[in-house]
Amino acid sequence: MNTLINIFFTAVFVLLLAHFMPGVHVDSFFTAVIVAAVLGLLNIFVKPILVLFTLPATIFTLGLFLLVINAIIILICQELVKGFHVDGFLKALLFSLILSFCQSLVSSLSEKKK
């Protein structure tokens, strides 16, 4: 149940960011839900592999390279989901930063209620 709530909030954030950020395009709410689910799956399966392969760069940049990995995950997601498009790497980087911030905000608010 908690996973479905996270997917719903992520889909809402994806729609809001697409509305307010130039360069991010989402066709519909259903597309945003698919984007949220695909992002979750990519974060589970692909991100650990990317982190492992780029560990020296991550250590050298004191963890800042993880932001680049998040942007790469967004770009992979745009290739997998029709109806979701991000105009370039910098837009993907900004999109991933804001989306991560919103997700962590909702996560911390839901933990305070418990």
pLDDT tens sequence across 27-60: 999 999 999 999 999 999 999 999 999 999 999 9
pTM of the model: 0.93
Assigned domain for 113 exists: no
Assigned domain for 80 exists: yes
Q: pLDDT, tens digit, for every residue of 80-113?
A: 999 999 999 999 999 999 999 999 999 898 887 7
Assigned domain for 19 exists: yes
pLDDT number for residue 114: 62
Assigned domain for 111 exists: no
Residues 19/35/3/106 CA torsion (nearest 10 deg): -30
Query: What's the structural domain count of the chain?
Result: 1
Per the CB < 8 A criterion, the answer to whether 23 and 87 are in contact is yes
